[in-house]
Structure 1
């Protein structure tokens, strides 16, 4: 009876090297997923404003003093224009200043469907406006008391108007906090990655993988519409348009993975998820607007599948007047690039097979 000799133990140097390499991977994961939330703050967030030149100038100076560079005020003629700009996603909110001295209370327009982070910022601005009105009223009261003590007839005490906050594009009643919409982004990303990896492993042939990705994306988009639109109610709008956006989002993630595999072989299975998960997801702007990310990462993230899919789904669901062409184009380019890589891989494999057959044929 023979016994197999036990495998020799792994050299200590290799053990340490593997441990350090895995530690590096862990560090990259932690940085990729925590960096956006830790460093997030608004940068030139577009907000519409309606008011006199003096009032707008005073507000701009007040905001620059409280939160330098956080808000970019876009002047509009009236409240209707501000609401229209919010509906087309040109701005994230609006400020209708009115005339507090005449008893006209300012109104803050917000859109929770655009982002809960920007909604919080707009409510903070509302509180800042209210504090300014109260300070002006306190000064007027002090002047009236001083006049009364001096024997003069005091002016009437001003009324303190209340700043109102109006949500012009609210979230679904089934998802009032937007947690369902935000949570749906990760399953779309994960589903696209699982589909691309699973098809790459289980299906042989580059063009057959393209077919599999197409079927997977269409069926998967339909299933997600049934869950997110009809069951949970986290997305709104036209369900066919929602389904098209979901299907294209899945294809834009899965197709590049199968394309990488067609060109690079097995290493392509890892390249796709790394690109989508570690690069695209942190800068997607799914949890917060792109304007909250430093440098140009927010804009770059909108041209990667996680960011484009998050923006597109939010647009077709809540903002039918918004121009979503850039998101459609970005997703189509990624899906098309995946198909093109698969075609290139198919042509290369076919050419290699023909050359091998020619060499093996008898002279």
Structure 2
């Protein structure tokens, strides 16, 4: 049975082929969404993760061989001169951690440096390295102690044998001279007990997370409102505001106000972010603008169909390779590096640097966000220049009334 349309005409049913096509198309979209969000987690693995190391050359070689056996290709050891340089490498985000080998001469035990603020995944990996190092140190100490015990037992056995031989020789000499054999000496002194001294590997968190966000979950969750807010703003402005240049103005104003709101909530209220308030506001505003401006720019260029650019570019492409939940080194091929040039990845890196790594160089993240914002504005300008101008109707002729005679 067909339904009547508002004008009274009978509206035909949707053809079966169109129903099947729509279902297949939506299923394909769902497949892409599932792959975008699950593929990075399922295929991620540690690869060439930079970790500093300092110590004797033989110790460095031993640790490198141990790590390569445990997880081949996972860690890329970067040799540094001392502990201070290792700490500097972590604070500037050149490495995710460091291994400081012990010094037997000074009695300094081995130490593993980590940074929970850099990544929860790498922090866990560094603690696993500490456990492996502790197992190796324990094995070496036990082997050295066993060797000492064996040497002490051999020395005691040799001393006892020599004492017995000397006693027999003295007895034979006394018997040959018709004298009374000397009284046997007392038992040999017992060897000193050997104690096992096992150095304990210490783990130091060089750049820890804040007390307000000890697990880092608040920081990770705070990045999603930036992505969602930028997309909502770009799509909403594209629909509600007419005129390319007015959309540019609205997007910039929205980014500024939205950045202030998110900074006030996420840093001032929840404490998920720890940087300077004004710098965080600037980063938030630029991150929102880097997502909203390209959407309005594409809409100005191609029309309302451009509103799909936000979900596709930012949500399906940029977010999975952003390296927010896991280090970029964990992503296959060069996707981690590419992801740092998309707004989700650049904003995550920038806010992490501002919050916990003030000595790091965030210029690449600033550049990426500024480039996306500028590209969105440029697209709006191009779309504004290409838009057809409405025809101006000619002015009606002016009649001049003739004077009445």
Q: TM-score, normalised by structure 1?
A: 0.94
Choose from 163, 169, 188 the match for 2:207.
169
Of residues 253-262 and 18-27 in structure 1, the stretch that sits farther from structure 2 once superposed is: 18-27
Q: Which residue of 2 aligns with 1:91?
A: 95
Shift of 1:20: 1.3
Q: Which residue of 2 aligns with 1:104?
A: 108
Shift of 1:221: 0.7
Please state if 1:353 is matched with 2:389: yes
Kept in 2, the 8 Å contact 1:108–1:166? The answer is yes
Please state if 1:136 is matched with 2:140: yes
Q: 2:50 is paired with a residue of what secondary structure?
A: strand
Choose from 357, 360, 371 the match for 1:322.
360
Q: TM-score, normalised by structure 2?
A: 0.84
Q: Which residue of 2 aligns with 1:204?
A: 242
Q: What value does the CA root-mean-square deviation take over the aligned residues?
A: 2.0
Please state if 1:288 is matched with 2:326: yes
CA distances 1:276-329 after superposition (whole Å, capped 9, x unpaired): 110000000011111111100000000010000000000111111100000000
Separation of aligned partners in 2, 1:133 and 1:361: 95
CA distances 1:10-45 after superposition (whole Å, capped 9, x unpaired): 222222221111111111101000111111111111
Q: Which residue of 1 aligns with 2:186?
A: none
Please state if 1:257 is matched with 2:257: no
Kept in 2, the 8 Å contact 1:145–1:154? The answer is no
Gaps of 5+ in 2: 157-190, 397-405
Aligned residue pairs total 357
Separation of aligned partners in 1, 2:244 and 2:311: 19
Kept in 2, the 8 Å contact 1:103–1:159? The answer is no
Larger helix share, 1 or 2:
1
Choose from 337, 342, 346 the match for 2:375.
337
Gaps of 5+ in 1: none
Q: Which residue of 1 aligns with 2:23?
A: 19
Separation of aligned partners in 1, 2:284 and 2:274: 13
Please state if 1:44 is matched with 2:48: yes
Structure showing greater radius of gyration is 2
Please state if 1:238 is matched with 2:242: no
Separation of aligned partners in 2, 1:5 and 1:100: 94
Q: 2:235 is paired with a residue of what secondary structure?
A: helix
Separation of aligned partners in 2, 1:42 and 1:331: 27
Separation of aligned partners in 2, 1:361 and 1:270: 42
CA distances 1:64-100 after superposition (whole Å, capped 9, x unpaired): 1111111111111111111111111111111111136
